[in-house]
Amino acid sequence: MEVKEYSLREKKHAKTKIVIMNAFMERLKHNRFDGISIKEVCKDIEVAEGTFFNYFPEKIDVIGYYLYLATLKIIWEAQEDAPAGKYLPLINSVFSHLSDEFNNNNAAYQIISVLLVQSQRPRKMAISDLEKRLAFPNCEGIEKIPSVILDEWLKEQVILGLNNGELPPKTNVEDVVVSLMTIIIGTLLVVRFNNSNSRDYHYMRQLKALWRELGANGNDKRVRG
């Protein structure tokens, strides 16, 4: 397969965008979203404020960009672990890697808080193959994974699992996706309130209970939990 060659300008553009996002997310690990100064972020990485807004017209767009890239990495990691052609185990693997991604509690909870206050989905973004490779140079083939937000990807996998016979024909796809997103956010909040770090444990328990309730085919053998 022929690998596309990119110009120095294209590479610089992609690298700068990723550097800005990383600098912003580093500050989000220890600060409130509203308290992060764009001026200070730009000072950290020696770029002009105008450059920041050329890439991210609104401050929240950095969060959206991070979510797209983080979802790509989580899916790539999950595909490395899960058996090919089995969609419920793949979802479980995504949840496990999601737990690792949310290892820094403050950043995770700030993202949830911001999205709740904004009351809107992250803006649609096109992530180039170059950006995917530069963001995750050790994830071979990550550029083949489509750029999606997590709930969109979950819906696709639930449909594939339904068509694959892993879920019974009566399964309501939208209801399952809502349940999965509820597990993601609800577990994070409960773990936070209980000062616990056992996100992965509770994710797996809740997923196992959901698959059992839905009557997932071969739940005990084919679905981790």
Model pLDDT for residues 25-72, shown as the tens digit of each residue: 999 999 999 999 999 999 999 999 999 999 999 999 999 999 999 999
Cα dihedral angle (202, 207, 212, 213), rounded to 10 degrees?
100
Domain ranges of the chain: 8-222
pTM: 0.89
What is the Cα gyration radius of the chain?
A: 19
Model pLDDT for residues 197-207, shown as the tens digit of each residue: 678 889 999 99
Residue in the block written with tokens 């790539």: 76
- Domain 8-222 belongs to what topology? Tetracycline Repressor; domain 2 (1.10.357)
- pLDDT at position 119 is 77
Q: Is 28:106 a contact under the CB 8 Å cutoff?
A: yes
Residue in the block written with tokens 């050329």: 54
Model pLDDT for residues 137-177, shown as the tens digit of each residue: 999 999 999 999 999 999 999 999 999 999 999 999 999 99
> Residues for the chain: how many in total?
225
**CA–CA dist 152, 72 (Å, integer):** 12
**CA–CA dist 38, 59 (Å, integer):** 8
Alpha helices by DSSP H, the chain: 8-28, 38-45, 49-55, 60-81, 87-101, 105-118, 129-135, 150-163, 173-193, 199-214, 219-222
* Structure tokens that stand for 100 in this block: 């690792």
- pLDDT at position 218 is 52
Contacts with 156 (C-beta within 8 Å, 6 or more apart), sequence order: 148
Q: Is 88:215 a contact under the CB 8 Å cutoff?
A: no
Q: Is 203:99 a contact under the CB 8 Å cutoff?
A: yes
Question: 223 falls in which pLDDT band (50, 70, 90)?
Answer: very low
- pLDDT at position 104 is 62
